[in-house]
Amino acid sequence: METRTYLVQKIDGDYAWLQRTDTTGAEPILVARALLPEEIEEGTRLRRELFEYTII
């Protein structure tokens, strides 16, 4: 599984919009907050590796 990096663009209730930062032209994705670290806020940078998100 490839490692990807994201920026939390917007928190919308139980979901967060994530924008990939390791490539250009990628569409934002909507991810359930239950899958993300509890401490996230808008502007937080995340790494996804092996289906696990961590704050970087």
Look up residue 41 and give its two tokens.
């806020």
Residue 43 forms part of a structural domain? no
Residue 56 forms part of a structural domain? no
Number of domains in the chain: 1
pLDDT above 80: residue 1: no
Residue 41 forms part of a structural domain? no
Please write the tens of the pLDDT for every residue from 9-20: 999 999 999 999
Distance CA 35, CA 15 (A): 9
Stated pTM of the model = 0.91
Angle at 10 between CA 8 and CA 12, to 5 degrees: 125
Structural domain including 19 reads 1-35
* Residues 41, 33 contacting (CB under 8 angstroms): no
Residue 45 forms part of a structural domain? no
Angle at 50 between CA 27 and CA 11, to 5 degrees: 45
Tallying the residues shown for the chain, one arrives at 56
